[in-house]
């Protein structure tokens, strides 16, 4: 029986995946590593420091990895503040989950400073009983620790949690944590056969129904 719903952030609460792609293209491009949209799609859901470490050997005269990470994060935060809007159905989903008596948490690969920026921009911080970022974990998604520790903060067994994700890496993390998983795929992943491991697939949060939360 479900007791909690744990949201991913990027691509689930707001359409920030394009912000990450724009920031990567800008920062990596300026450092001699042009990035395509396909390059960005392939690493969706991966923690930014791990992504920078992956791309760093290809950069030309770069600053430190930490500085590259900070440049990307700063640009994404700027875009969130200036252009961030809630995903379709977010208010509906929050109200429905609360009406079902379920606790709400968040498990994200993004840094906690960005989490607070997003929640403040969208005005939804009051809905969440626990927030957890993979920045404090040894491994980010697709490793399950970010979900396991989010559930621990909520005081709920992982098996009693529903994770809501938009990326394949996030979906893998949720399933590895032994959670039920709802996938609302990023447009780049629509039709991807790997998403069949999800327990439920919807096109948007607006389609969430009470029956989906009684599993």
**Domains and their CATH numbers in the chain:** 4-14+85-213 (3.40.50.1000), 17-83 (1.10.150.240)
- C-alpha 158/C-alpha 69 separation (Å) is 31
Q: How many CB atoms lie within 10 A of CB 180?
A: 21
Query: Would you say residue 132 has pLDDT above 90?
Result: yes
CA 191 → CA 58, 69, 83, 172, 205, distances in Å?
Answer: 32, 31, 28, 17, 18
pLDDT, one tens digit per residue, over 35-47 is 999 999 888 888 8
Cα atoms in the Cβ-side hemisphere of radius 13 Å centred on 57? 2
User: β-strand 161-165 against 180-183: which pairing, if any?
Assistant: parallel
Cα atoms in the Cβ-side hemisphere of radius 13 Å centred on 128? 23
Q: How many CB atoms lie within 10 A of CB 212?
A: 20
For residue 96, name the pLDDT band (cuts at 50, 70, 90). very high
The neighbouring-strand residues paired with 4 are 103, 161
- C-alpha 78/C-alpha 75 separation (Å) is 5
Q: Please tell me the predicted confidence (pLDDT) of residue 44.
A: 85
Q: Is 10 a catalytic residue?
A: yes
Q: What is the mean pLDDT of residues 196-214?
A: 96
Q: Please tell me the predicted confidence (pLDDT) of residue 168.
A: 93
Query: Would you say residue 215 has pLDDT above 80?
Result: no
Global confidence as pTM = 0.87
- C-alpha 118/C-alpha 124 separation (Å) is 9
For residue 190, name the pLDDT band (cuts at 50, 70, 90). confident
Q: Is 203 a catalytic residue?
A: no
DSSP state of 87: P
Question: Is residue 184 a contact partner of residue 204, using CB atoms and an 8 Å limit?
Answer: yes
Catalytic residue from among 10, 49, 166, 186:
10
For residue 21, name the pLDDT band (cuts at 50, 70, 90). very high
């Amino acid at each position: 029986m479900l007791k909690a719903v744990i949201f991913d952030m990027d691509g689930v609460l707001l359409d920030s995946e394009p912000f990450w792609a724009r920031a990567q293209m800008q920062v990596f491009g300026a450092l001699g590593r042009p990035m395509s949209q396909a390059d960005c799609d392939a690493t969706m859901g991966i923690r930014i420091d791990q992504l920078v470490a992956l791309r760093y050997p290809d950069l030309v005269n770069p600053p430190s990895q930490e500085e590259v990470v900070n440049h990307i994060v700063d640009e994404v935060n700027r875009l969130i503040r200036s252009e961030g809007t809630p995903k379709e159905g977010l208010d509906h989903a929050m109200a429905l989950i609360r009406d079902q008596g379920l606790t709400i948490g968040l498990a994200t690969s993004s840094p906690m400073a960005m989490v607070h920026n997003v929640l403040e921009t969208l005005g939804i911080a009051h809905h969440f009983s626990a927030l957890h970022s993979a920045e404090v974990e040894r491994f980010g998604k697709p490793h399950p620790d970010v979900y396991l520790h989010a559930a621990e903060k909520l005081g709920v067994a992982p098996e009693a949690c529903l994770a809501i994700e938009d990326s394949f890496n996030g979906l893998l993390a949720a399933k590895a944590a032994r959670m039920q998983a709802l996938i609302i795929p990023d447009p780049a992943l629509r039709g991807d056969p790997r998403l069949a491991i999800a327990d439920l697939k919807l096109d948007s949060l607006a389609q969430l129904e009470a029956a989906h939360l009684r599993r």
